[in-house]
Amino acid sequence: MKQLFEIYGWPLTTFFSACVALWLTILIVTPQFFMIELSLRFEDRGDRLTKIVNDLDVLYRDKGTKEYDLVNGPACNTTGMVNPMMTGDSSCAQFGEEDKLRLEQQVRELEDRIQSLLVEEQNLKEIKAQQFPYSVRNYTAMTGLHAWTLTKTVAFALIVTLIALAACYPVAYAVALRSGPVKTVILFTALFVPYAVNELMRIYAWLTVFDLHGLLNTLLVIAGFASFASDEVIIWYRFPGTVLVVLVYTYILFMVFPIYNTMATLDPNQVEAARDLGAKTWRIHWRVIIPHTKPGIAVGCIMTFMLAAGSFSVPYIITRGLQPKWFTQLIYDKFYESSNWNLGSAYSFTLLLICILFIFGVMAIFGVKLRQLAR
Partner 1 sequence: MKAVETMDRGDALLNIFIGMFVMFMFLPLILMMLAAFNSASPPSVTSWEELTLAWFPRLLAEDRLIGCLQNSFRIAVFVVPASVLLGLSAAILLTRLEGQATNLLYACLISPMLTPGIVLGIATIVFWRHFGVGADLYTTIMAQTTFIASFPMLIIMARLQRQDRAQEEAALDLGASPFFLFRRVTFPFLLPAILTSAALAFLLSFENYNTTVFSIGGSCTLTTEIAAQARRAHTPVINALGVIFVTVTVIFSLVYTLRKQWEK
What distance in Å separates the CA atoms of residue 59 and residue 121, rounded to the nearest whole number? 14
Please state the φ and ψ torsions of residue 148, each to the nearest 5 degrees.
Answer: -65, -40
266: left (phi over 0), alpha (psi -120 to 50) or beta: beta
Closest approach of partner 1 to the CB of residue 152, in Å: 16
Please state the φ and ψ torsions of residue 111, each to the nearest 5 degrees.
Answer: -60, -45
What distance in Å separates the CA atoms of residue 333 and residue 352, rounded to the nearest whole number? 18
Closest approach of partner 1 to the CB of residue 67, in Å: 30
Closest approach of partner 1 to the CB of residue 352, in Å: 5
Closest approach of partner 1 to the CB of residue 59, in Å: 27
Task: Give the nearer residue to partner 1 in terms of CB position, either 224 or 321.
Answer: 321
Residue 190 host element (H or E): helix 181-196
Closest approach of partner 1 to the CB of residue 121, in Å: 23
**3 state SS of 358:** helix
Q: Is the dihedral of CA 341, 346, 351, 356 positive or negative?
A: positive
Task: Give the nearer residue to partner 1 in terms of CB position, either 95 or 358.
Answer: 358
Instruction: Fill in the DSSP letter of residue 76.
Output: B
Burial class (CB in 10 A: 0-12, 13-18, 19+), 149: buried
Contact between 228 and 260 under an 8 Å Cβ cutoff? The reply is no
What distance in Å separates the CA atoms of residue 341 and residue 41, rounded to the nearest whole number? 10
Task: Give the nearer residue to partner 1 in terms of CB position, either 192 or 286.
Answer: 192
Task: Give the nearer residue to partner 1 in terms of CB position, either 107 or 271.
Answer: 271
Closest approach of partner 1 to the CB of residue 78, in Å: 36
Task: Give the nearer residue to partner 1 in terms of CB position, either 13 or 91.
Answer: 13
Task: Give the nearer residue to partner 1 in terms of CB position, either 22 or 162.
Answer: 22
Task: Give the nearer residue to partner 1 in terms of CB position, either 9 or 361.
Answer: 9
Contact between 351 and 326 under an 8 Å Cβ cutoff? The reply is no
Closest approach of partner 1 to the CB of residue 95, in Å: 43
